[in-house]
């Protein structure tokens, strides 16, 4: 059967048992993602889906009263998701990961290219959401970090 997508092509190649030399262009790009449902990491997951990349989710607990795994903290000392891993490399911060993936997979056409005028608005919107808007959500989700909450207050 003919592979339907880049992801299917990757899977087919993994199971074919055929060994061959691949340069960087031919090598399928696969990722791991430190992830928690209904969090900022969902945006990166959507991008990986749109690209059709092969990726593995690393489920992560981000509740206020739970500690983060050592492996997670080693990659992002803030203990936040998302963290993207590829090969021996890792990075965090949604906006940076978004730009990185869009630039690395131009064939997916998810962002205006560097020479296009729309690039400015793309970057502006991305950074606005990941700084101003996300910080406002931090105040709401983790109020105990910013103010003492009396034990008698409902949480
Ligand atoms: N500036 C970071 C913020 C990421 C962030 O706030 N992630 C939240 C989930 S939406 C998180 O991991 N929270 C866990 C915590 O604050 O301990 C980014 O853009 O990646």
Please write the tens of the pLDDT for every residue from 85-112: 999 999 999 999 999 999 999 999 999 9
The answer to whether residue 155 is domain-embedded is no
Total domains, the chain:
1
pLDDT single digits (tens) 44-88 = 999 999 999 999 999 999 988 889 999 999 999 999 999 999 999
CATH of the domain at 56: 3.40.30.10
Q: What is the mean pLDDT of residues 10-28?
A: 44
Is 33 inside any structural domain?
Answer: yes
Nearest CA to ligand 1 atom 9: 39
Q: Is 142 in the pocket of ligand 1 (CB under 6 A)?
A: yes
Most ligand 1 atoms within 8 A of CB, residue of 34, 37, 40 to mutate: 40
Residue 42 lies in a domain: yes
| Confidence class for position 11, pLDDT limits 50, 70, 90 | very low
| Residue identifier of the C-alpha nearest atom 11 of ligand 1 | 80
Residue 100 included in any domain: yes
State whether the beta carbon of 79 lies less than 6 angstroms from ligand 1: yes
Please give the C-alpha separations between residue 16 and each of 10, 11, 28, 48, 103, in angstroms, as whole numbers. Answer: 10, 9, 14, 24, 30
Q: Which domain holds residue 98?
A: 27-145
Query: In whole angstroms, how far apart are CA 56 and each of 44, 74, 126?
Result: 12, 19, 24
Domain assignment of residue 76, yes or no: yes
**Residue 6 included in any domain:** no
CA dist., res. 30 & res. 138, Å (int) = 30
Strand order of the β-sheet with 89-92 is 54-59, 30-35, 83-86, 89-92
């Amino acid at each position: 059967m003919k592979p339907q997508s880049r992801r299917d092509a990757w899977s087919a190649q993994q199971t074919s048992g055929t060994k061959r030399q691949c340069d960087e262009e031919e090598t399928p790009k696969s990722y791991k993602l430190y992830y928690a449902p209904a969090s900022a990491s969902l945006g990166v997951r959507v991008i990986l889906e749109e690209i059709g990349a092969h990726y593995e989710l690393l489920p992560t607990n981000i509740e206020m009263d739970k500690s983060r795994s050592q492996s997670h903290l080693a990659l992002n000392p803030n203990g936040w998701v998302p963290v993207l891993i590829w090969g021996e490399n890792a990075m965090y911060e949604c906006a940076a990961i978004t730009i990185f993936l869009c630039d690395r997979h131009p064939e997916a056409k998810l962002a205006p290219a560097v020479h296009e005028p729309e690039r400015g608005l793309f970057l502006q919107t991305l950074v606005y959401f990941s700084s101003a808007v996300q910080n406002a959500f931090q105040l709401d989700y983790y109020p105990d970090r910013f103010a003492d909450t009396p034990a008698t207050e409902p949480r």
